[in-house]
Amino acid sequence: MTTIASDLPGDSQEVSGWITLLLAASCGLIVANLYYAQPLVGPIAADLGLSPQLAGLIVTMTQIGYGAGLLLIVPLGDLVENRRLVIAVTGLGALALAGAALSSAPLPFLLASLLIGLGSVAVQILIPYAGHLAPHAVRGRVVGNVTTGLMLGIMLARPASSFIAAVSSWHVVYGISAAIMVALCLVLRRSLPVSEPRARLGYGKLLASMVHLARTTPVLRRRALYQAGLFGAFSLFWTTVPLVLAGPGFRFSQAGVALFALAGVAGAIAAPLAGRIADRGWTRPATAFAMLLTAGGFALTRFGELGSPLSLAAFVAAAIAIDFGVQANVVLGYRALFVLGAEQRSRLNGLYMTTFFLAGAAGSAIGGWAYVQGGWTLAASIGGALPLLALIYLATE
């Protein structure tokens, strides 16, 4: 078994294509667990006897678990051997998924949802781990390739769960994912090299040090706030667009909404491109481009009358543009943070992710409110303004 030291990550050798592919696939399969429930909230709530007023808890509990894991588990990547930590957290996710599959009452399901979110933070241990493995000169490219798997998992999870539930039930969706997580643990245990962190802090001091990192690392604050603007817009778009598509203009069925979601998958090509651009030192202009592209995506949706072929084409183009911009910017942020030092890479990632994850949750809430208050016109105006605010902040750099 190969062992790497996280303070000298991979400077002597290239990362094999197989390991990069495995890390990318693992990220996609794990992060998908966060999104399977989103299109299935109605059927799950009906089967469990959960009232419509409380149905939102099905997604919210998973988000709470994920947010807690970002702050409490992800920083352990600087303290605990990475392969062992990933397998343990993924194993927890597998147990939680099995519990969800077997649930027939609200309380056990919601508890399982909380633990699914907690187990899904394994993906945010794997991304810094990829940074450990990669030589400095190609770190952006490797992280970008791995993050492509993350984006594919996010975008494919919703249509996949919709289609599986349509031919069987939501229980089967969780059962299949639990089996996949068990198999993934076995493959990761056999294939990943050991990565021994050099940090010697206790857990309490490790968490306390994150406050110091947030105060004393301007790059972290800037990259986190840049991505907060873009990810808030991304979440607003994907929360609100299904309402638009199912509304009186388009009248899409659930299957139609699922097919539309596949359009965003094209944006996944942004990750490896952004990684290569960052490796060449073009991070700042690429960041500005990502922000303008995201804002432009919302502007595109204003073309044509809702329900017309032109409007549908504009929404498809917008989905691709927004996903491309957001995905490119997150990889640019990873690259900027991962050169700051391997000994603090997991803590930096935890702070980075927590910041824009909270912005994403806020974007979802604002999107739903804006659509009720002023329709897609108001929602799109707010969504387009968020990346422009990030661009103004970038101009002060």
22: pLDDT strictly greater than 80: yes
pTM for the whole structure: 0.79
Chain-centroid distance of CA 167 in Å reads 27
Q: Please indicate, yes or no, whether residues 372 and 297 belong to a single structural domain of this protein.
A: yes
Q: Please indicate, yes or no, whether residues 84 and 195 belong to a single structural domain of this protein.
A: yes
Q: Please indicate, yes or no, whether residues 384 and 342 belong to a single structural domain of this protein.
A: yes
Maximum pairwise Cα distance, the chain: 61
Q: Could you say which of 151, 181, 200 is where a domain stops? A: 200
Residues contacting residue 223 through CB under 8 Å, at least 6 positions apart = 332, 333, 336, 337, 352
Neighbouring C-alpha atoms within 13 Å toward the C-beta of 293: 20
Q: How many CB atoms lie within 10 A of CB 63?
A: 18
For 189, the token pair is 């245990």
Average pLDDT, the chain: 87
Q: Strand, helix or coil at 274?
A: helix
- The predicted pLDDT at position 276 comes to 85
Domain that holds residue 77: 1-200
140: pLDDT strictly greater than 50: yes
Residue 367 sits in a domain whose CATH number is 1.20.1250.20
Q: Which of 213, 378, 382, 179 is nearest to 294 (CA)?
A: 382
Q: Please indicate, yes or no, whether residues 154 and 222 belong to a single structural domain of this protein.
A: no
In tens, the pLDDT along 239-259 reads 788 888 888 989 887 678 778
Lowest pLDDT segment from 97-106, 190-199, 221-230, 309-318: 190-199
Percent of the chain with pLDDT over 70: 94
Lowest pLDDT segment from 6-20, 112-126, 257-271, 355-369: 6-20
Q: How many CB atoms lie within 10 A of CB 213?
A: 17
In tens, the pLDDT along 179-217 reads 999 999 999 999 998 877 766 678 888 888 888 888 999
- The predicted pLDDT at position 199 comes to 65
Q: Please indicate, yes or no, whether residues 63 and 206 belong to a single structural domain of this protein.
A: no
Give, in order, the Cα–Cα distances in Å from 137 to each of 2, 186, 349.
Answer: 21, 31, 20
- The predicted pLDDT at position 15 comes to 66
In tens, the pLDDT along 308-348 reads 999 999 999 999 999 899 989 998 998 899 888 777 888 89
54: pLDDT strictly greater than 50: yes
Q: Please indicate, yes or no, whether residues 13 and 77 belong to a single structural domain of this protein.
A: yes
Q: Could you say which of 161, 177, 200 is where a domain stops? A: 200
